[in-house]
Structure formats: structure tokens, C-alpha cells
Copies of this chain bind each other. A is one copy, B any other.
Amino acid sequence: MGSSPVGLHRVLAPPGVLPQAADQLDNRAEIEPDEVRIKVERLNLDAASFRQLSEKHSGDGTAIRAEVLEIIANRGKMQNPVTGSGGMLIGTVDAVGPESPLGLVAGDRVATLVSLTLTPLAITDGLVRWDGRSEQVPCAGYAILFARSIAAVLPDDLDPELALAVLDVCGAPALTARVVRACGSSTVAVIGGAGKSGSLSLVAAREAGASRTVGIVPSTAERDRLTEAGVADVVAIADARDPVALSAAVTEALGGPADVTVVCVDVPGCEHGAILATADGGTVVFFSMATSFAAAALGAEGLAADVTMLIGNGYLPGHAGYALDLLRKDPAVRRLFEARLAGH
């Protein structure tokens, strides 16, 4: 069998599914003519995945590390079996097949923009340099890109960790901007506005012409941080899992329900509040991997809410460059990211 642009030839079980749906991938190091091998330096675990692992093991870094190693060894990829999510990686191009269309050359420092959930991966250092207590996982090993994978060459002007943190969520600002532009002048609520995808979505909404924006955060610490960054017109505190409190906070901040609501918090149970906070004829964009399809679909029906609900697609053409440019142009959002990376 020849190689497939979407990686079907690397699926070991079950047969016939795409790599993301596979239980197990073939992570052999030798590459097909259209594949690329990356020497991995660092994994960036998806926030929902790391949170689940951390809660399961009560923050015990050694146990978390052992489970991540076991997942990768068993599955040939890093996909949390509970959340279904993965993350991304950073590394250096090690080998390029002669038929690869990705335009990469050996030595390029890259970040993968396709999820770890479909990327063949092997770890060779037992993750000895990781304490198991952060989403950022320094490591040695290799990963494989298919013909239709996406990788961004890391920019020279930004710290690689900073660039990686931006690239990890770069679908959110791109889709937010597209939705806001399509709506014309609109009010925008970003639930989880102080996080990575949330703060970039706020900047994108403003840049795309939003008439007024609110960032909803869960705590006074996040409120102060987001207020200082100045990327939202209003910052308000509300529990996103409490539909009544959330919609009241949005309505008060915007003078009515939002035309566009963007959900960026990685906790379950935010669907109803987001729907209730959105105007009739408006749009909800769900980026959180903790979103329940049934809760959203039935919630809108149950509330007789005529809202368009989008599943946040992590890919849009040009999304990486767009997100990096937002960070370059906005020193305040850059400081937010740098503070997060420094653990504040």
C-alpha cells in the first residue's frame, strides 16, 4: 500500500479510520516519500487534557508523567483517552521525503499545527526533563508529518515558547475575526477572556470591527490581569457554568445579549449559559474541547433560541500568521502570554 496524504497508512487499529480516530498509530521512524520526520524538543499538551490528567492524579507530577508516557507508548501518539484531545509540538525538521508538499527543509525549526491526536510520535528520553506539572513538556523523540499536515516555521523575532503558545490556539482568533466580519458591527462576549485563545479572540474581535466587547473571567486575579491588558471594553466576573449568572453578566456589560459569543473555557457545562447570553439571530462559537454536542443542540432547542452554533475549527488558511501578527501588534496581549508562560 502506498502512503495516504491524510496518513491512513499509519493507522494500526481499528482499520479504515483516520489517524485521529485511531486507537493506535504506527510510529516507525522511517518515512514515506511524502512524509516529514521532526526531531521533537517539546510537547504542548491541550489544556483540557492536562487538566484531566492533573485532576486524576491530584497534581502528582510523577504519576502524570507516567501516564503520558504510557499513552504515547500504547497509542503511538499523544491523545488523552478521556478528553480525546492532544496538543501540539515543537521541533526541528530531521528528514524530508522527496514528494512532501509541505515546503520544509531539514534544519527548519517548526511547530505542528495539526493536533497530536493524529501525529505519530515516539519519546526516547522517558520525559526525564519534565516534572509533570505543566502543559509544556520538554522531551526527546520524533514525530511524523503527512502530506496534508500543517507545520509553521517558527519566527525569528519571537521566543519559541511564546510562538508555540500562540500557534496552539491560532484557530480561535482567525475564526472569531471571520464571524465578526460576517456580522458587521456587532457586540462580542468572550467567555474565558483572559486565557490564551480568549485574549487573542478579544483582540481579533476588536480588529475585525466589533462595536463593543466583554471578557468574562472566573476570578478577581484574572479580571485584574485582563483589565490591565486593555483588550476588552468591559471585563466581568461570572461562573460560566451558571447560565443565569453568565447571561446576566454579558447582558449588563454589553447593554443586551451578545451578537457573537465565543466560548474559550476548558470546563464542561458552559453551553447553556453561552446560548442564553446570545441574541436571537446571533452566533455562538465553541472552542472549548469540553463542549458537549448534545448539551448545545438540545439546549438551544429547549431555550427556543435561534442562534447559529459553530464547532470551533482549529484550521483556517493563514491562521498562524494572523495570530502571530496580532501578538506582535498588541504589546498588552503579548505581556498576558508572557505572564502565563512565566507561571503567573
Interface residues of A (CB under 8 A from B): 6, 8, 16-21, 83-86, 113-115, 117-118, 148-150, 171, 241-244, 269, 272, 276, 286, 289, 291-317
Interchain CB contact under 8 A, B313 and A306:
yes
Chain B residues within 8 Å of A289, by CB: 293-294, 297-298
A278 CB to closest chain B CB (Å) equals 11
Would you call B19 and A302 a contact (CB within 8 A)?
yes
Q: Is the CB of B85 within 8 A of A294?
A: yes
User: Smallest CB-CB separation from A316: which chain B residue?
Assistant: B306
Q: List 7 A-B contacts (CB under 8 A).
A: A18-B303, A20-B295, A115-B298, A148-B303, A286-B293, A301-B313, A301-B314
Contact indicator B298/A314 (Cβ below 8 Å): yes
Chain A contact residues, majority secondary structure = loop
A101 vs chain B, min Cβ distance (A)? 11
Besides A20-B272, A148-B304, A286-B293, 17 new A-B residue pairs in contact (Cβ under 8 A), listed by A number = A6-B302, A16-B244, A18-B243, A18-B272, A21-B269, A114-B301, A118-B298, A171-B301, A286-B311, A289-B298, A296-B311, A297-B313, A297-B314, A301-B313, A301-B315, A306-B317, A308-B310
Number of this chain's copies in the assembly equals 2
Contact A84 B292 (CB under 8 A): yes
A315 contacts B311, C-beta separation under 8 Å: no
How far apart sit A228 and B91, CA to CA, in the bound complex (Å)? 56
Interface centre among A6, A316, A317 (most CB of B within 10 A): A6
Instruction: Tell me the minimal C-beta distance from A20 to chain B in angstroms.
Output: 5
Instruction: For A313, give its contact among B19, B85, B291, B307 (CB under 8 Å).
Output: B307
A317 to B306, CA, bound (A): 7
Please give, as numbers and ranges, the residues of chain B lying within 8 Å of A308 by CB-CB distance. Answer: 310, 313
Closest residue on chain B to residue A115 by CB atoms: B298
